[in-house]
Amino acid sequence: MGEASQLKVLFQIRRYGLALICCGLALALAWWLDAPTSCLFVAVMVASLYGGKGPGLFSVGLSALAFDYFFLPPRFHFYMNSSSYLRFGPFLGATLLIVGLIEARRRGEEARRQIAAQVQRSEAYLAEAQKLSRSGSWASAADSMQTTYWSEQMFLLVGLPPADHPPSVEEFAALFPPEARARLVETFESARLKKTAFDGDFPLISQNGTNRTLRIVGHPVLGASGEILEFVGTAIDVTEQRQSSAALQRAFDEIKGSEDRLRLIIDTIPVPAWSSRPDGSSAFINQRWLDYTGISVEEALGWGWKIVVHPDDLDRTMEYWQAILADREERELEARLRRFDGAYRWFLFRVSPLRDESGRIVQWYGTCIDIEDRKLAEQALRASEQNLRLMVHCIPGFVITSTAAGEVELVNQTLQNYTGKPLEELKNWPAVVHPGDLPAVGSLWTRSVKTGHPFDADVRVRRADGVYRWFHCRGLPLRDNDRRIVRWYTLLTDIEDRINAEDALRNSERDLNMIVETMPGLVWCAAPNGELNYVNQRILDYIGTNPQALAQAGWLNFLHPDDVQPTIDAWSNAVETGEPHDVQYRLRRFDGTYRWFHVLGQPACDADGHPTRWYGLLIDIDDRKNMEEALRSTQTRLSRAAQTATVGELSASIAHEINQPLAAVVANGHACLRWLSAEPPNLAKAHEAAERIVRDGKDAGEIIRRIRALFKRASLEKTALDMNEVIGEVLRLTRSEVVRRGVAVETELEQDLPPVVGDRVQLQQLLLNLLVNGLDAMEEAADRPRRLFIRSKHQASEGVLVEVRDCGPGLAEPDKAFEAFFTTKENGLGMGLAICRSIVEAHQGRLWAESADGTGATFYFILPMREPNGDSR
Amino acid sequence: MATPDNPIVFLVDDDPRVREALCSLISSVGLRVAAFGSAAEFLAFEKPDAPGCLVLDLQLPGVNGLELQRELAGGDAPPIIFITGHGDIPSSVRAMKAGAIEFLSKPFGERELLQAIDAALALDGTARLKRLELAELRKSYSLLTPREREVLPFVVAGFANKETAGELGTSEITIGVHRGQIMRKMGARSLAELVRMADKLGIAQTARPS
């Protein structure tokens, strides 16, 4: 048990002891005085008063027991008769009442004491609070400004010494400057009239140079009928508060102004700018940005700004922006932004983060700087630099720059590639120069470096594979404003091929000259105007003169007089038109005889097609001419002879021609007889038959008349023949004729044809006839090329096929062409193709014709091959 | 005169003079004549169902006589009499080898021609009969079942029914039934007749296993 509760118990025991003692004393006194009631009353009173409620009741109990035992009859018994109740009851009631009254009073006393303590404490608190808050409280009368109460703090507030009484109205008024004083009075009067509270700040007259302001607040205390009983209020020193709020206001104003200025600056700086939230979405965008992009701020905020980023840059930009956000570092980025007019320009985005004290990023700030022009300039510069570098490295020459002292500084890539040496090694350039050229080149270079003369030399430079090639070197000095040499630029050009070509040209010229002079041909050259300016030695030898004499006499003097005019005409025409010159004339030999020459001239033309020179040849064709003449007469004779020789072969055809009408005559005769001998004779039919006999007989006579001139049969001499050989012989025989008629003959002769058995002359005749037939057919053809095509071919089963195709008008009836006396020619006898057929049939072959109308006729014949045993099939 | 069986002479010659004369001559002996200028015209002509012969010129425009003969060979073509303006030996040999009745060189006498025509017509009459007979045989043969056609070569080769049954893997009685059917359908009165029919139809007899 604690000491306090021990004390309490002790105190309780003392109180109850007091009650016991009081009761004892009262019993003794009552016994002695025999005034039990009064004595016991006193004892209860004392016990209650000093012991409290518990001891009071205790003493009531003791008193009641003592009164019953000692004083009520029967005495000394607790037993009580009914008459005693009348005394005991009131006694007990009175004692209990006494205890109750005393207890009630004691309680009221206790409560009052506690309230007083509370009030005292509150006042202490208030005073303390007022001191702390520099405020004081006051009360004043209802009708005047005379204050009735001032708290201690009030005095301190106004700087008066604390006193028991509030200052008088005059004293109080003197505290304020006149202006504040008047206002104070006015305020108070107004509040009094309106019965409202008032509140105002009033400056005090400055003391010790400090200006203080008092805030005075007053409330009317109204009575039951609404009249003002008094004013109570407080006064607070608000000097510091006012000062700080004024300072705050000023600071606000300052901030406001600077914010406006900032916004103005931000909006007017010639740079689009913006800020973003930490997540990257934009929070602010300046006017410049909006003006540039032409979109509204609502569109641009958040992520809306993405629409003005160039689509090609968007992904990259977003990626980079996210990286920036992730790295939380200040960065730069280049991207294209769309201008209001749709054009894209390059911008440099520069962003930097704003962090709070804890380093957390609060905002990103960024600007966009237009770098389009810089970008373009950069590109142009890069391109031009690239071009220049490419140019230097790609030009098919070597470029060297050297110092003023002649030391190699730089060489281009081509030279490094060529020599297979890097720049460092090339600084020792004599190492790659041909030793034979080195002394000369070295001294030239030294001299150039010394004098500043351009350097110019041909030199052999070694290639990576060790081969030397000729180069032309040309070096020029670069001089500064003072004419001092700053650097040498040298260009090496590969002239190996040119030198080789020059050598080759020289050689070929020499060779050509030798060829022209020694060849067994006659060669001449002429100027574009036709003037003869060169003839080779052979021509001079032929005509037996020398160049001077030829020049004097003129070449026309050596021509046959009959050929001079046609030759002049042809040559003038050739010179005029630039067409190749092609004539034949007779040229006088040194011994005075004339020989035929075929003269060919060809112009050499420049790029524009103008002749620069004529080159020509004289070909001696005298022997050929004579031979042609001989051949032609032979041919005519042969043709005649062949025709004679083939008449025998025609007999079958002739027989057929005659037998046809004869057969008709005989049959008609028989028929006529039969009609006549019929029962009855049919005279009409017989007459018809007789008429036909006459007609057909006449026909037969006509045919015989046509054959009259034909010749007798000749015997055949069959041998094994190569058909290609026969074709060749016939072509040779007819070449002149073919040329004369302006026909081109093409052949397609199969090699290694098997031999056929036949009469050479007859087969020649056959081919000759077909050829001449073709030539004749094309006589009229002016609208298409005159071409004759001859082909030989080995047909596996049948023998050798020969085909002769012309470009004539073709055959209307190919089958009839072979009939004797069938002709389309005015002067033809109509025997040519009939003879051909008879020849072919005599050789057991086949002859036929095909014609596609308008594209010429084709004649085919097949001759059987020689059998292995040497006999024909 | 123009009954279907009246014989007809076809004449192909490109020479109108010869055509006219021969038409006149042939019709003077009471034969029908149809004349053509070329092989193509002849081929295009619808021939009546009557005995006939062809008088054909060797030299013709386009398809010549020998070629036409080759073309007609094997069919039901009438016999051919060649006429030619200049008959060379190789052509005549070829013509005769290919089955021509006669080869006449122009000019020829009426007797030669008319005799040849008579012979040709008679020949054609016989040939037509044979063709008719063969056509009937074929018709009969077409009535045989595949099994009967299988059995026929054994029968005509003289196999006994038992042997045939052994070869074909069936019973003797079945073969007997087939045999009866074959005889009935072919209209053969005896085995010998059936053998002749098979021969005409070109049915090979089954060789006896040696």
Cα nearest neighbour of A652 on chain B: B86
Question: How many residues appear in chain B?
Answer: 210
- What does the pLDDT average to over A126-140? 81
User: Are B66 and B169 within one domain?
Assistant: no
Cα nearest neighbour of B84 on chain A: A656
At A317-353, the pLDDT tens digits run 888 888 888 877 777 788 888 888 888 888 888 888 8
Q: Which tops the pLDDT comparison, A870 or A264?
A: A264
Task: Determine the distance in angstroms separating the CA of B175 from the nearest CA of chain A, rounded to an integer.
Answer: 54
What's the rounded Cα separation, in Å, for the pair A433 and A426?
11
Closest residue to B25, CB basis, from A674, A682, A816: A674
Phi, psi of A423 (to 5 degrees): -55, -45
Chain B CB within 8 Å of residue A659 CB: yes
Please answer yes or no on whether B25 and A667 come within 8 Å at the CB atom: yes
SS3 assignment, position A787: strand
The predicted pLDDT at position A539 comes to: 86
Please answer yes or no on whether B18 and A663 come within 8 Å at the CB atom: yes
- What does the pLDDT average to over A678-705? 84
User: Are B184 and B119 within one domain?
Assistant: no
> Could you tell me the two tokens for A171?
């004293």
User: Are B78 and B161 within one domain?
Assistant: no
Residue B3 falls inside a structural domain: no
Chain A CB within 8 Å of residue B5 CB: no
For chain A, what are the domain ranges? 3-111, 134-237, 269-377, 395-496, 519-617, 621-714, 716-863
The predicted pLDDT at position B117 comes to: 92
Q: Which of A498, A486, A487, A454 is nearest to A473 (CA)?
A: A454
User: Are B115 and B47 within one domain?
Assistant: yes
What's the rounded Cα separation, in Å, for the pair A246 and A213?
13
Residue B170 falls inside a structural domain: yes
At A596-631, the pLDDT tens digits run 888 888 888 888 888 888 888 888 888 888 887 776
Chain A CB within 8 Å of residue B15 CB: yes
The predicted pLDDT at position B87 comes to: 67
The predicted pLDDT at position B12 comes to: 92
Contacts of A655 in chain B (CB under 8 A): 85-86
Helix axes B172-186, B161-168, angle to 10 degrees: 110
> Could you tell me the two tokens for A613?
């020179």
Q: Which of A434-443, A523-532, A845-854, B48-57 has the lowest mean pLDDT?
A: A845-854
Residue B18 falls inside a structural domain: yes
Longest Cα separation, chain B: 73
Contacts of A675 in chain B (CB under 8 A): 24, 28
Beta-sheet strand order (sheet of B8-12): B32-36, B8-12, B52-57, B80-84, B102-105
Residue B1 falls inside a structural domain: no
> Could you tell me the two tokens for A391?
């140019």
What's the rounded Cα separation, in Å, for the pair A425 and A431?
9
Tell me the average pLDDT of chain A: 82
Contacts of A678 in chain B (CB under 8 A): 28
Which amino acid belongs to residue B195? V
For residues A336 and A292, the answer to whether their CB atoms sit within 8 Å is no
Residue A819 reports pLDDT greater than 90: no
Residue A653 reports pLDDT greater than 80: no
Residue A830 reports pLDDT greater than 60: no
B196 Cβ neighbours under 8 A, 6+ residues apart: none
How distant, in Å, are the alpha carbons of A149, A816, A818, A834 from that of A810? 157, 13, 14, 17
Q: Which residue has the tokens 């003791």?
A: A62
The answer for B 67-106 residues in CB contact with A (under 8 A) is 83-86, 88, 105-106
The matching CATH number, chosen from 3.30.450.20, 3.30.70.1400, 3.40.50.720, 3.90.550.10, for A519-617 is: 3.30.450.20
Residue A842 reports pLDDT greater than 50: yes
H/E element, A409 = strand A408-411
- What does the pLDDT average to over A532-551? 85
Neighbours of A797 (CB within 10 A): 6
Closest residue to A696, CB basis, from B17, B22, B28: B17
Cα nearest neighbour of B113 on chain A: A667
- What does the pLDDT average to over A502-509? 87
Chain A CB within 8 Å of residue B24 CB: yes
Q: How many helices (H) and strands (E) are present in chain A, helices listed first?
A: 24, 27
List residues bridging with A605 in a β-sheet. Answer: A611
How distant, in Å, are the alpha carbons of A816, A831, B20 from that of A661? 18, 20, 11
- What does the pLDDT average to over B111-131? 89
The predicted pLDDT at position A638 comes to: 57
DSSP code string of A554-586: -GGGGB-HHHHHHHHHHHHHHHHH-PPEEEEEE
Contacts of A663 in chain B (CB under 8 A): 18, 21, 83, 85, 106-108
Q: What CATH number does residue B161 fall under?
A: 1.10.10.10
Residue A822 reports pLDDT greater than 70: no
CATH class for the domain made up of A134-237: alpha beta
Cα nearest neighbour of A696 on chain B: B17
Q: Which of A243, A219, A231, A239 is nearest to A159 (CA)?
A: A239
SS3 assignment, position A492: strand
User: Are B115 and B27 within one domain?
Assistant: yes
The predicted pLDDT at position A180 comes to: 85
Chain B CB within 8 Å of residue A850 CB: no
What's the rounded Cα separation, in Å, for the pair A311 and A302?
18
Chain B CB within 8 Å of residue A668 CB: yes
The predicted pLDDT at position A713 comes to: 38
Chain B CB within 8 Å of residue A315 CB: no
The answer for A 777-836 residues in CB contact with B (under 8 A) is 815-816
For residues A151, A155, A157 and A158, what is the CA-based torsion angle, rounded to 10 degrees? 140
Task: Determine the distance in angstroms separating the CA of B41 from the nearest CA of chain A, rounded to an integer.
Answer: 17
Cα nearest neighbour of B83 on chain A: A663
For residues B116 and B81, the answer to whether their CB atoms sit within 8 Å is yes
What's the rounded Cα separation, in Å, for the pair B127 and B124?
5
Cα nearest neighbour of B57 on chain A: A660
List residues bridging with A433 in a β-sheet. Answer: A461
| Domain-ending residue, one of B131, B164, B191 | B131
SS3 assignment, position A303: coil
Question: What percent of chain A clears pLDDT 90, i.e. is strictly above it?
Answer: 3
The predicted pLDDT at position A714 comes to: 46
Residue B3 reports pLDDT greater than 50: no
Residue B207 falls inside a structural domain: no
At A731-755, the pLDDT tens digits run 766 665 676 677 888 999 998 888 8
At B12-39, the pLDDT tens digits run 988 888 899 999 999 888 888 999 988 8
- What does the pLDDT average to over A196-224? 82
Cα nearest neighbour of B112 on chain A: A667
Q: Enter the ipTM.
A: 0.72
Please answer yes or no on whether A664 and B61 come within 8 Å at the CB atom: no
- What does the pLDDT average to over A770-798? 82
Please answer yes or no on whether B25 and A685 come within 8 Å at the CB atom: no
> Could you tell me the two tokens for A256?
């406001």
Contacts of A816 in chain B (CB under 8 A): 61
User: Are B86 and B188 within one domain?
Assistant: no
Q: Is A589 left (phi over 0), alpha (psi -120 to 50) or beta?
A: beta
Chain A CB within 8 Å of residue B22 CB: yes
Please answer yes or no on whether B106 and A660 come within 8 Å at the CB atom: yes
Residue B172 falls inside a structural domain: yes
At A697-721, the pLDDT tens digits run 887 877 676 555 344 334 556 788 8
The CATH fold of domain A395-496: Beta-Lactamase (3.30.450)
SS3 assignment, position B197: helix
| Domain-ending residue, one of B131, B158, B173 | B131
List residues bridging with A585 in a β-sheet. Answer: A597
Domain count, chain B: 2
Q: Which of B90, B46, B30 is nearest to A679 (CA)?
A: B30
The predicted pLDDT at position A115 comes to: 92
Residue B135 reports pLDDT greater than 60: yes
Domains A134-237 and A269-377 equal at CATH topology level = yes
Q: What CATH number does residue B78 fall under?
A: 3.40.50.2300
The predicted pLDDT at position A112 comes to: 93
| Domain-ending residue, one of B109, B131, B153 | B131
What's the rounded Cα separation, in Å, for the pair A386 and A389?
5
Contacts of A664 in chain B (CB under 8 A): 15, 17-18, 20-21
User: Are B61 and B162 within one domain?
Assistant: no
**Which ranges of A395-495 would DSSP assign to H, the alpha helix?**
413-419, 423-426, 438-451
Cα nearest neighbour of A684 on chain B: B24
According to the CATH classification, is domain A269-377 in 2.60.120.10? Answer: no
The predicted pLDDT at position B11 comes to: 92
Range of the domain at B173: 144-201
Residue B48 falls inside a structural domain: yes
What's this model's pTM, rounded to 2 decimal places? Answer: 0.32
Question: What percent of chain A clears pLDDT 70, i.e. is strictly above it?
Answer: 91
Please answer yes or no on whether B106 and A671 come within 8 Å at the CB atom: no
For residues A468 and A487, the answer to whether their CB atoms sit within 8 Å is no
CATH number of A716-863: 3.30.565.10
Distance of CA A585 to the CA centre of its chain: 73
Task: Determine the distance in angstroms separating the CA of A856 from the nearest CA of chain B, rounded to an integer.
Answer: 20
Neighbours of A22 (CB within 10 A): 26
Chain B CB within 8 Å of residue A665 CB: yes
